[in-house]
Amino acid sequence: MGLTLAQLTQAIRTKVDMDMETVVAENIAEHALGFFGFSNRIIDNALEPTDRNLFYQLQDYDLLTTESEETTLWDGREWRIHYWKFKASAEAFALAAAEAAKNQQSLIDEDPYAGVYDDVPTELWRERSGIDDDYEEPLF
């Protein structure tokens, strides 16, 4: 798993609601990533019910998935272990969402009127043309 906090935050905002405050999405992302640490999956038994509900929501947003494995105990019984892990597509989606957010922000930050006067010749501007404009002359 190579998801960063910023990437997962943006992925959550994209999946849930783009109007969601970044702080709220960041708290959710930080909470979820806190379980994984340096591992790419965690065991389901480590989760409290409220945390498991969050993981189910992230699964609904198509970011997490489950897997399970069976093992034989020493007494011959079969034991199933359930894990949570980020989907392989989650990192790609998070990167795309972060890039889209960056592009969206650059469009918002760009002033559409910034170059309005760029094509106007400088001769038309009295103060730039070098012509005295009588501004400093006394009126009477």
Confidence (pLDDT) at 1: 45
What does the pLDDT average to over 111-139? Answer: 67
Going by pLDDT thresholds of 50, 70 and 90, the confidence category of residue 4 is confident
Confidence (pLDDT) at 37: 76
Please answer whether residues 59 and 15 qualify as being in contact, where contact means their C-beta atoms are separated by less than 8 angstroms. no
Q: Domains (ranges, CATH) in the chain?
A: 5-110 (1.10.10)
Pull the structure tokens for residue 67.
Answer: 């897997």
pLDDT score of 130 more than 80 = no
Locate tokens 């980020």: which residue? 86
pTM for the model stands at: 0.60
For Cα atoms 11, 18, 113, give the angle at the middle one, nearest 5 degrees.
115
pLDDT digits (tens, 9 = 90+) for 93-113: 777 777 777 776 665 566 677
Percent of the chain with pLDDT strictly greater than 70: 76
What is the full DSSP assignment across the chain?
A: ----HHHHHHHHHHHH-TTS-HHHHHHHHHHHHHHHTT-SEEEGGG--HHHHHHHHHHHHTTSEEEEEEEEE-TTS-EEEEEEEEE-HHHHHHHHHHHHHHHHHHHHHHS-TTTTTTTTS-GGGSHHHHT----TTS---
pLDDT digits (tens, 9 = 90+) for 54-65: 999 888 888 888
